[in-house]
Amino acid sequence: MSLWTSGSAGSWAGLTVSSLMMANGSPGAVLGLLDPDSDLRDELEETGVGVVSLLHWRHRDLAEAFGGTAPAPGGAFRSGTWVETEFGRRLADAPTWAGVRLTSLTEIGWSVLATCEIVSLEVGDDSDPLVHRHGRYER
Could you tell me the pTM of the whole model? 0.94
Mean pLDDT of 99-122: 97
Domain, as residue range, for 93: 2-138
> Mind listing the pLDDT tens digit for each residue in 53-86?
999 999 999 999 999 888 888 889 998 999 999 9
CATH of the domain at 93: 2.30.110.10
Q: Report d(CA 20, CA 1) in Å as an integer.
A: 8
Please count the structural domains in the chain: 1
- Cα torsion at 24, 136, 61, 44 (round to 10°)? 40
Edge-to-edge strand order for the sheet containing 29-34? 11-17, 2-8, 49-54, 97-108, 111-122, 29-34, 20-23
Q: Which residues are registered as beta bridge partners of 101?
A: 49, 117
pLDDT at 9 > cutoff 80: no
pLDDT at 8 > cutoff 90: no
Mean pLDDT of 110-124: 97
